[in-house]
Structure 1
Amino acid sequence: MARCTHKGCGKEYDAASNSDGDCKYHSGGPVFHEGLKSWSCCNETNKPVMEFDQFMAIPGCTTGKHTEKTQVAQPAQVPAAEAPAATTSTDGVETYGSTPAETPSVSMAPSKAPTPPPVVEEEDDLSLPVPEGAKCKRLGCGAEWQGPASRGDGPEAGCTYHPQKPVFHEGSKGYLCCKPRVLEFDQFLKIPGCKTGHHLFVGSKSQGEELVDCRVDHYQTPLEVHVSAYSKNADKDRSQVTFADQSLTLDLYLPNNKRVKKTVTLYGPVVPDQCKFRILGSKVDITLIKPVAASWPLLELPAAGTELPPGYALTFGVSGRTGTVGGKEVVLSVEEAAKQGR
């Protein structure tokens, strides 16, 4: 059967019975702005989201017939952001946004970056039922549940996917786990998975609890990283966040017997005894303290061998009269400086 090329659909269909209204899709293009993701055709009705899998799950806003024709996205209008006020420290480093009154000098002595621990990927608990119509949660797969054949040693159980997150930088699109970079969103959706395994339809349960993930967002200043772990109504008495030299661990108890257990290997070192957290109604606010002023391209240290696009996410800490635009020198982490031979 043919596969529909409408954005947000992608279903197989029988051309002989293709009727008006069978297809629900997005007539506009994707909008990526300041970490938020939405569709230009319905961003007033469907709120922008942070995570890529949430973006892919936004339901289509237009109905029509399925098609095999190549779709051309309408250009999306991205709102212009006001430039934040610039401040200059005593050593001449110009930064943007709120910064501490004093910025310690940065030691650029090369040091070996820690190797992130091996990633333990979640697998389906084969004893748990799978609802009809469920789709594989792994990035780049999206296969639909076909009954017992989609599990274990079944003929449809094989999954080809991307184990790491997507990365969007200066128009290029790809995944952290593999090399291909493309410009068009349609081409990005067609980047083949770089790892094989089994489908993930429902996840697993541990000791009667359902282990779930939570959305983690962050922004940074030269000396701090502010992290938000979105976990609504976490139990304040039992939930905990612990800090180590270059990691943080979330252990959050949620309603309906759900629990978040997540360890993040941070991109750079922190000062554990100065880090802190607050459990609020809709999220956990976390403040990480860096030992020296530095810009982290990512919150989490990527797997060994991962190469980021040049200049990716270096959003502050630039010296020179013109600030970020046209600046002469960026304030890098020690690990990044060592990589670049500084």
Structure 2
Amino acid sequence: MENAGKLRCQRMGCDAMFTEDENPEGFCRFHDSPIFHDGMKEWSCCKQRSHDFSLFLEIPGCKVGKHTTEKPVLTKPPTTPKPVPVPSEATGASAKEACSRCRQGFFCSEHGSQVRIMNPNPPSSVAAPPAEGNADHREALAAPAKKLVDINQPQICRNKGCGQTFKEKDNHDTACSYHPGPAIFHDRMRGWKCCDIHVKEFDEFMAIPPCAKGWHNADPAP
């Protein structure tokens, strides 16, 4: 067995397999703990956040250290403060404008606000090349850059639920155990749509065993 005798790192954002003999300092990239508040997911250590749970889990770890089997102590999410009514005649704003949930675009049963849909494909800040010009040059701009990797170079698999360190020479169509996703985060429940398993605690969610096999991927598509 490929993972015989190996341990799984319990740090948030890592989840790699390792042995005590092969556990150098700086080989583990991880986060401290997650914070969930008003539909937002945030890492307490680097303050990077996302509304989408799958994208949240793919944020690279901001800290480095050694792998460990000790489970991290999770940070408790902040308590949601009760909204304070603001008199409209004193501020000139309506009750809907004074409501914090309405201002952020979340659904509000009191004022009937609709959920704000974020654009999954924001416009690129890079200007498009002019229509005229050399055709070969335009084709070169449109073609994605190829990533050259040494087949003996250690890489970390970014497939959800894997996180193993691998070499491309050992990669094959059943090397990776992962979740094809997407992750489901709804009504205080966390789970994976691919295997239909849902739990309440975040550490239980991270421990759900992968349900699919495939190739390791150190640079998954966004």
Residues 1:9 and 2:30 are matched in the alignment: no
Residues 1:144 and 2:162 are matched in the alignment: no
For normalisation by structure 1, the TM-score amounts to: 0.38
Structure with more strand by fraction = 1
**CA 1:94 to 1:195, structure 2 compared with 1: closer, same or farther past 3 Å?**
same
Q: Gapped runs of 5+ residues in structure 1?
A: 86-92, 99-126, 204-211, 214-342
Please list, as runs of the form range in 1=range in 2, the aligned pairs for 1:307-326 lying within 5 A after superposition: none
Structure with more helix by fraction = 2
Paired with 2:55 and 2:18, the residues of 1 have a C-alpha distance of 24
**CA 1:19 to 1:151, structure 2 compared with 1: closer, same or farther past 3 Å?**
closer
Q: Are 1:8 and 1:60, in contact at CA under 8 Å, matched by a contact in 2?
A: no
**CA 1:158 to 1:59, structure 2 compared with 1: closer, same or farther past 3 Å?**
closer
Correspondence for 2:102: 84
**CA 1:195 to 1:147, structure 2 compared with 1: closer, same or farther past 3 Å?**
closer
Residues 1:37 and 2:41 are matched in the alignment: yes
**CA 1:20 to 1:78, structure 2 compared with 1: closer, same or farther past 3 Å?**
farther
**CA 1:171 to 1:189, structure 2 compared with 1: closer, same or farther past 3 Å?**
same
Please list, as runs of the form range in 1=range in 2, the aligned pairs for 1:186-225 lying within 5 A after superposition: 186-201=203-218, 213=222
Please list, as runs of the form range in 1=range in 2, the aligned pairs for 1:290-329 lying within 5 A after superposition: none
Residues 1:165 and 2:182 are matched in the alignment: yes
SS at match of 1:38: strand
Paired with 1:55 and 1:195, the residues of 2 have a C-alpha distance of 18
Correspondence for 1:68: 69
Correspondence for 1:324: none
Q: Gapped runs of 5+ residues in structure 2?
A: 1-5, 84-99, 104-109, 116-145
For normalisation by structure 2, the TM-score amounts to: 0.54
- Work out the percentage of aligned pairs sharing the same amino acid: 29
The residue type paired with residue 168 of structure 2 is G
Total equivalences in the alignment: 161
The residue type paired with residue 175 of structure 1 is W
Paired with 2:211 and 2:170, the residues of 1 have a C-alpha distance of 23
* RMSD of aligned residue pairs (Cα, Å): 3.7
Paired with 1:182 and 1:145, the residues of 2 have a C-alpha distance of 30
Q: Deviations over 1:239-263 (max 9, x none)?
A: xxxxxxxxxxxxxxxxxxxxxxxxx
Q: Are 2:27 and 2:66, in contact at CA under 8 Å, matched by a contact in 1?
A: yes
Correspondence for 2:118: none
The residue type paired with residue 59 of structure 1 is G
Correspondence for 2:49: 48
**CA 1:65 to 1:188, structure 2 compared with 1: closer, same or farther past 3 Å?**
same
Q: Are 2:58 and 2:158, in contact at CA under 8 Å, matched by a contact in 1?
A: no
Paired with 2:22 and 2:158, the residues of 1 have a C-alpha distance of 29
Q: Deviations over 1:254-308 (max 9, x none)?
A: xxxxxxxxxxxxxxxxxxxxxxxxxxxxxxxxxxxxxxxxxxxxxxxxxxxxxxx
Paired with 2:158 and 2:24, the residues of 1 have a C-alpha distance of 29
The residue type paired with residue 49 of structure 1 is S
Deviation at 1:165, TM superposition (A): 0.7
SS at match of 1:95: coil
The residue type paired with residue 43 of structure 2 is W
